């Protein structure tokens, strides 16, 4: 009988990708995914601490697991992600004695080595160690539908060295490390062999890909190499930083047909003093000019941004400057978060968290309301247009996929379109999704 594993993941796409990697390594050992924390032989808890609420959710779940260990002492609990951090954390072992393994972000090997030692007899009985060695290096997609086999993520830069004053990521994921080009190309080829049609290349500042390797290797070069992989249909990349979006990257997006015109580039605030306190190293006008430059290269692109509201000292006037930027630039997406002081960060150590929680929530609601109106208007422009949709799965009886600009589209049809690029005529477009009909030429 196969042993089973379960994954609990919170946080960003990097964490989702890390969990997929853990699943991949466990599948190589003969484990199979099961949708139950209670039943699984191994439970991986992949955590996010970017905000206090995310950290509280993770620790709440870890405590919830504790009685399961009493019921089954052989169960293995592995804690991963930003709660652990790159340096490990002895205090965590004391606080949560029911956790067996601590894994830094993006590194499944502590768990794999633990299992190889602990389950030696079981693995030998199934000749699995040999199989594991044979497949080492290949990314095997977990055999579970939660891992979308059509579109997936591939980390290309780990960590971040930028040190924005509010951000805990450099402390938890370590300094910036780019993966070698060959390793990434090998991995994407392996994914394509397993049916993947779209990859999103991930980095905290993805445009800085290669800066720590040599002067010769940059994101634009990598995009070209990944673009050459037969069978791959689409490429995306995120997250960009305003100071590193070069003309070479924009040129690659404009001229490589598989690279989607979809840019995620956070502004964080529209006020120059707040941007300075955040240590972002650009002004609101620099950002406006950048968005105009992106739109010159990519007139039909989807551009997403992030905003933090209630940063220490943010006045109503300063918040209004963020609103002014959003109103004038009309972005396709705005991810908004309330400021949350994180341990060790410069802002937490030196700036009082002085915007009341109620006021932060009000500002968050204002941004969300404005953004909903903006995106509703943008999406209305899709009605009557025919778009290319990469179909990912069936959801509640409808096919679900995304346009090249990352808009979510649903359509009904009895044919099997999973994994196909389909032309869909948009009949209705709301702020969060669209509905359409397959063009008759596709049937």
**Residues near ligand SF4 (CB under 6 A):** 160, 162-164, 167, 169-170, 204-205, 241
Q: How far apart are the first and last CA of the chain?
A: 43
Pure H helices in 29-150: 52-71, 90-95, 109-118, 120-125, 128-135
The minimum distance between CB 375 and ligand SF4, in angstroms, equals 23
Q: Using the minimum distance from each CB to ligand SF4, give the nearer residue, 3 or 241.
A: 241
Dist CA 38 CA 34 (whole Å): 10
Is the Cβ of residue 166 or residue 417 nearer to ligand SF4 in the bound state? 166
Give buried/exposed letters for 19-41 (b at 16+ CB in 10 A, else e). Answer: bbbbbbbbbbbbbbbbeebeebb
CB-nearer residue toward ligand SF4: 24 or 47:
47
Question: Toward ligand SF4, which CB reaches closer, 164 or 259?
Answer: 164
CB nearer ligand SF4, residue 128 or residue 160: 160
Three-state SS at 9: strand
Per-position DSSP letters for 140-162, written without gaps between them: PPPSSTTS-SSEEEEE-EES---
Rounded to a whole number of angstroms, the minimum distance from the CB of residue 50 to ligand SF4 is: 9
CB of 156 to ligand SF4, least distance (A): 14
Please, what is the minimum distance in Å from the beta carbon of residue 226 to ligand SF4? 23
Q: How far is the CB of 53 from ligand SF4 (least distance, A)?
A: 17
Closest listed residue to residue 105, CA positions, set 25, 183, 15, 180: 15
Q: Supply the minimum distance, in Å, between the C-beta of residue 34 and ligand SF4.
A: 33
Contact 201, 156 (CB under 8 A): yes
Least distance from C-beta 304 to ligand SF4, angstroms?
Answer: 14
Phi, psi torsion values for 218, nearest 5 degrees: -135, 170
Q: Which two tokens stand for residue 105?
A: 């972000």
Choice between 176 and 198, CB closer to ligand SF4: 176
SS3 per residue for 385-414: CEEEEEEEEEECCEEEEECCCCCEEEECCC
Instruction: Specify the residue, 268 or 405, whose C-beta has the smaller distance to ligand SF4.
Output: 268
The single-letter DSSP state of residue 337 is: E
């Amino acid at each position: 009988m196969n042993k089973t594993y379960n994954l609990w993941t919170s946080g960003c796409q990097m964490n989702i990708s890390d969990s997929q990697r853990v699943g991949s390594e466990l599948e190589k050992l003969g484990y199979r995914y099961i949708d139950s924390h209670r039943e699984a032989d191994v439970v991986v808890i992949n955590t996010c601490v970017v905000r206090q609420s995310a950290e509280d959710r993770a620790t709440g779940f870890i405590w919830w697991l504790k009685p399961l260990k009493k019921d089954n002492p052989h169960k293995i609990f592995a804690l991963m992600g930003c709660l652990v951090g790159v340096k490990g954390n002895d205090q965590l072992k004391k606080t949560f004695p029911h956790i067996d393994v601590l894994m830094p972000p993006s590194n499944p090997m502590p768990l794999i080595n633990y299992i190889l030692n602990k389950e030696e007899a079981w693995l030998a009985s199934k000749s699995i160690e040999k199989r594991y060695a044979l497949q080492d290096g290949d990314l095997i997609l977990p055999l579970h539908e939660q891992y979308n086999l059509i579109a997936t993520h591939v980390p290309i830069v780990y960590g971040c060295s930028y040190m924005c004053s509010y951000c805990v990521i450099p402390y938890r994921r370590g300094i910036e490390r780019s993966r070698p080009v060959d390793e990434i190309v090998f991995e994407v080829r392996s994914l394509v062999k397993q049916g993947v049609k779209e990859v999103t290349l991930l980095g905290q500042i993805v445009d800085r890909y290669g800066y720590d390797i040599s002067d010769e290797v940059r994101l634009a070069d990598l995009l070209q190499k990944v673009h050459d992989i037969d069978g791959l249909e689409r490429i995306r990349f995120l997250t960009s930083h305003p100071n590193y979006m070069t003309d070479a990257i924009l040129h690659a997006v404009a001229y490589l047909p598989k690279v989607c015109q979809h840019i995620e580039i956070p502004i964080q605030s529209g006020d120059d003093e707040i941007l300075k306190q955040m240590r972002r190293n650009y002004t609101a006008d620099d950002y406006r000019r950048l968005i105009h430059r992106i739109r010159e290269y990519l007139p039909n692109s989807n551009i997403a941004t992030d905003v933090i509201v209630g940063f220490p000292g943010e006045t109503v006037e300063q918040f209004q400057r963020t609103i002014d930027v959003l109103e004038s630039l009309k972005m396709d997406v705005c991810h908004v978060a309330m400021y949350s002081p994180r341990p060790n960060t410069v802002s937490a150590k030196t700036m009082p968290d002085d915007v009341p929680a109620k006021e932060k929530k009000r500002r968050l609601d204002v941004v969300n309301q404005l953004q909903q109106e903006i995106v509703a208007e943008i999406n209305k422009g899709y009605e009557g247009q025919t778009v290319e949709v990469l179909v990912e799965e069936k959801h509640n009886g409808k096919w679900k996929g995304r346009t090249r600009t990352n808009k979510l589209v649903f359509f009904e049809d009895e044919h099997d379109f999973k994994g196909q690029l389909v032309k869909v005529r948009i009949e209705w477009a709301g702020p969060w999704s669209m509905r359409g009909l397959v063009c008759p030429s596709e049937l």
